[in-house]
Amino acid sequence: MSTRIAFVGGTGPEGLGLAMRFARAGNMVYIGSRSEERAAEAVAFVKEKVPDGDVFGGLNLEGAEKAEVIFITVPSDAHESTLEELAEAINDKIVVDVVVPMVFDKDGPRAIDLEEGSAAQQAGRIASEAKIISAFHHLDGKELQKIDRPVQGDVLVCGDHNGAKKKVMDLVEQIEWVRALDAGPLSNARYLENWTVVLMHLNKLYKAHAGVRITGI
Amino acid sequence: MSTRIAFVGGTGPEGLGLAMRFARAGNMVYIGSRSEERAAEAVAFVKEKVPDGDVFGGLNLEGAEKAEVIFITVPSDAHESTLEELAEAINDKIVVDVVVPMVFDKDGPRAIDLEEGSAAQQAGRIASEAKIISAFHHLDGKELQKIDRPVQGDVLVCGDHNGAKKKVMDLVEQIEWVRALDAGPLSNARYLENWTVVLMHLNKLYKAHAGVRITGI
């Protein structure tokens, strides 16, 4: 079933990669940006890889208004302000928060502790009617963009709204070879977000594009 | 090469499982406990599975004094006091901290935030001469005890002493099928520890013994 999906801050590697995969799976994809020009460039880039895709773009606000499911793929430092701008438009929709709160210091990337516990919980504080789901932290954006190759790895999904979680898990499994796993309540979002920092260290040490697979399930 | 390994609090599932695997790989294994009787029982249990193993046991303190590499496998709430008791005996040895600081509440297991950042960093504060390595959080204790079956999964190893890290990574790879990965500095220990909480949620939701495998490396 086709879903109207918007990417808020969809011009980065993760947003582009997911947009390609979801467009190819037959969904309507809207790439949002703070700049209409950059959104248009991103749409053109995605349509090159997925010529038949239903792909549109424009300002973040318009995406949040039009979509059923809103992915937050902005840089960490724009997370809070972006949510504040869009909370009204988001209303009670499904929000998939992909953001990892972090900074870089001498040891490499490091997680930032947010008062709310995680980026996803911060989104929930701001867009308080929305159904917040935390997911898609561990698929590499560049690998996602290699559209003709399957992506290795699991997507762990956590949240407190079971219907929304199921909907997002169904979206996950539209991506070939990728498995969705229910990782419990939204209070687990911090652990999922922070695991990305580990993957980034591994990427650097092993010159890799690391992902995660859960064994034993 | 054979290593003298002690398990402090080695009578739980994780300590027993690792003791079996390391004994089978030809190391000298000491199972420590607060109770000599429980240590003796644990030694007997391990020797049942690994009859030829060099397996001994007794009080934690004796283990810390005799071993080259000291695994901390106590329950979370005994972590700080145990390290305080043993810091002098540990001195500048290699400590492998396996402990995950957590509690159980209505949503299931939840990580506790320690002032030092992680159990491993707390160990480093207390045993300040020791070479602290954080590792072995994600291998299931019960699966480890099925001694004739290979264990699925990677062991992520972090720490600030490169020699000690290499030694521990070599130990990891003595366990059949298990791969050691360098997960960077000790400041990443919190992310490794907290990931265990995710695995515990998955275990409950999927009635599984979940582990982790890094893809793309």
Q: Is the pLDDT of residue A60 over 90?
A: yes
- Phi-psi category of residue A51: left, alpha or beta, with phi > 0 → left and psi -120 to 50 → alpha: alpha
Instruction: State residue B19 phi and psi, 5-degree precision.
Output: -60, -45
Kindly state the helix (H) or strand (E) to which residue B165 belongs, with its residue range: helix B162-172
CA of B186 to nearest chain A CA: how many angstroms apart?
10
Pairing label, strands A108-111, A102-105:
antiparallel
Q: Is the pLDDT of residue B1 over 80?
A: no
**Best interface-test mutation with A: which of B178, B191, B204, B209 has the largest number of A CBs within 10 A?**
B191
- Which residues of chain A lie closer than 8 angstroms to B150, CB-CB? none
CA of B38 to nearest chain A CA: how many angstroms apart?
30
| Chain B interface includes A188 (CB < 8 A) | yes
Q: What is the mean pLDDT of chain A?
A: 97
Q: Is the pLDDT of residue B152 over 80?
A: yes
Range B115-134 average pLDDT: 98
Judged by CB atoms closer than 8 Å, whether chains meet at B214 and A217 is answered as no
- Which residues of chain A lie closer than 8 angstroms to B185, CB-CB? 107-108
pLDDT grade for B189, boundaries at 50, 70 and 90: very high
Query: What are the C-alpha distances in Å from B177 to residues A63, A137, B145, B152?
Result: 47, 27, 15, 7
| Chain B interface includes A4 (CB < 8 A) | no
The ipTM is 0.95
Q: Residue A106 has what pLDDT?
A: 85
- The answer to whether residues A182 and A135 touch, using CB atoms and an 8 Å cutoff, is no
pLDDT tens-digit map of B53-87: 999 999 999 999 999 999 999 999 999 999 999 99
Range B113-138 average pLDDT: 98
* Integer Cα distance of B127 and B133 in angstroms: 12
pLDDT grade for A152, boundaries at 50, 70 and 90: confident
Q: Residue A107 has what pLDDT?
A: 80
